[in-house]
Amino acid sequence: MTATLDWLGCATFRLTIGNLVVFLDAYIDRVPSAAPIGISVSEIDRADWIVVGHSHFDHLYGAERIARATGATVIGSYETVRIMEAQGVPLKQLMPVAGGEKVRLAHDVTVAVYPSQHSCVWSHAQMPPADMMCLGDLGVTYQEQQARLQELWSFLESMGGEVMAHLQVSAQGARGDGGALLYFFETPEGSLLYQDTSGHWSGILRNLRPDVAILAAAGRGNIDGEPIQGSLAQFMARRADLIRPRRVILSHHDNWLPGFSGAVDVAPIRSELTRWMPKTELIEMGYLQAYPIFAGL
C-alpha cells in the first residue's frame, strides 16, 4: 500500500491510502480559460471523505456533487456544513468541526482538526507576486476589511464574461471566509498537514510536526490575524520553519482564475525555503500525478 496524492488544481487534492479515498477541498470545475486538470466533478465516482479547508467557492464548489454522487461524508466548518445542507447533501453525510476534533477516517487513519486563519484577501485586488514586499495594513478593523473586500468583488466582476458566469454558477452564499481550518492526518506511512489558504495561528502551528505539509502559496499571508510584513516567499519560509516538515507540497499557486490569480513564481519561494530549511524538500506537483507523498522519507 502506497499513499498517493493527486493535485486537482487550486488547493484541491485527492489522497488515496489503500481503499480509502479522501478529497481535500473539492474545487475542480473552473473557468474554461484555466488550464484543464484532466478530470471533472461529474467523473468522480469514488470518495469516502471530503475534508474542506474553508467555504469559499474556490475550495467548496464541487463538494455538494461529489458527496451526492459518492455518499462521501463532508468534514468542514459550520458554514461549510450549512451550505452543503442547503445544496441538498443529507445531514448524515455532514460532520461540522471547529478545531479540537479527531476524526477516524479508516481503522488506521485519523485526521485532527485545528482552527486556522484565512489569507488577507481583503488587502489586495490582484494577487501580489511571491517576491513582492507587502508592508502596512496592520490593525485594519473587520468593517474596513469588508469594505475593501467589496472592491475585490467589483474587480472580479469587472473581468466580465466567463468569470462572471463562473462566479454565478459557483456562488453558494458563503458568509465571511467560511471558517478556515487546518487538518493533520496520521496514516501508517506518515503524517500530513493540509492547509488551503495562506494563514495560521503561530501557537498552533509550532506544536505540529508533520512529515509532509501541503501549504497554500497565494495571496498575502495572515499571521495570527495580521498581514505578513514581507513577501509571500518569506511567509512560506516562516510557516514551514514553525512545523519543520521533511517535504512541502505547494498548493493554490496555479492560475486557477486567469486574470485574477496568475501562476505564482515558485523561484523566490524555493530560494527562501532553501535558505531557512535546506533539508526540506519542495515539491511542485503536476495535475493528477498520483504522487507517492511519503515515499523516501
3-state secondary structure of 84: helix
Stretch that binds Zn ion, among 50-58, 61-69, 152-160, 218-226 (CB under 5 A): 50-58
β-strand pairing of 190-194 with 181-187 = antiparallel
Instruction: State which residue, 56 or 238, has the beta carbon closest to Zn ion.
Output: 56
Nearest to residue 46, comparing CAs of 14, 6, 8?
14
Q: Give me the helices (H) in the chain, please.
A: 57-60, 63-70, 78-86, 142-158, 161-170, 202-205, 232-243, 267-276
* Residue for grid cell 471530503: 50
Which value, to the nearest 10 degrees, does the dihedral of the CA atoms of residues 209, 117, 184, 44 take?
Answer: -140
Instruction: State which residue, 73 or 261, has the beta carbon closest to Zn ion.
Output: 261
How far apart, in whole angstroms, are the C-alpha atoms of residue 242 and residue 186?
19
Instruction: State which residue, 56 or 82, has the beta carbon closest to Zn ion.
Output: 56
Shortest distance (Å) from residue 149 CB to Zn ion: 11
Determine contact, residues 197/93, Cβ cutoff 8 Å.
Answer: no
Q: Closest residue (Cβ) to Zn ion?
A: 56
Shortest distance (Å) from residue 245 CB to Zn ion: 23
Shortest distance (Å) from residue 252 CB to Zn ion: 9
List Cβ neighbours of 199 (8 Å cut-off, separation of 6 or more): 116, 117, 118, 119, 120, 180, 221, 222, 223
Shortest distance (Å) from residue 290 CB to Zn ion: 27
Stretch that binds Zn ion, among 54-62, 100-108, 133-141, 265-273 (CB under 5 A): 54-62
Map residues 5-44 to x or -, x wherever contact with Zn ion holds by CB under 5 A: ----------------------------------------
Q: Does 56 bind Zn ion (CB under 5 A)?
A: yes
**Radius of gyration of the chain measured on its C-alpha atoms:** 18
Instruction: State which residue, 223 or 273, has the beta carbon closest to Zn ion.
Output: 223
Stretch that binds Zn ion, among 41-49, 51-59, 94-102, 164-172 (CB under 5 A): 51-59
Q: How many residues bind Zn ion (CB under 5 A)?
A: 1
Q: Which three cell numbers stand for residue 263?
A: 501562476
3-state secondary structure of 148: helix
Stretch that binds Zn ion, among 49-57, 137-145, 148-156, 213-221 (CB under 5 A): 49-57
* Residue for grid cell 453558494: 172
Shortest distance (Å) from residue 133 CB to Zn ion: 23
Instruction: State which residue, 70 or 119, has the beta carbon closest to Zn ion.
Output: 119
Stretch that binds Zn ion, among 55-63, 92-100, 145-153, 266-274 (CB under 5 A): 55-63
How far apart, in whole angstroms, are the C-alpha atoms of residue 274 and residue 61?
35
Q: Does 124 bind Zn ion (CB under 5 A)?
A: no
Q: Does 252 bind Zn ion (CB under 5 A)?
A: no
Instruction: State which residue, 59 or 270, has the beta carbon closest to Zn ion.
Output: 59
The amino acid at 118:
H
Q: Which three cell numbers stand for residue 294?
A: 511519503
The residue ranges that bind Zn ion (CB under 5 A) are: 56
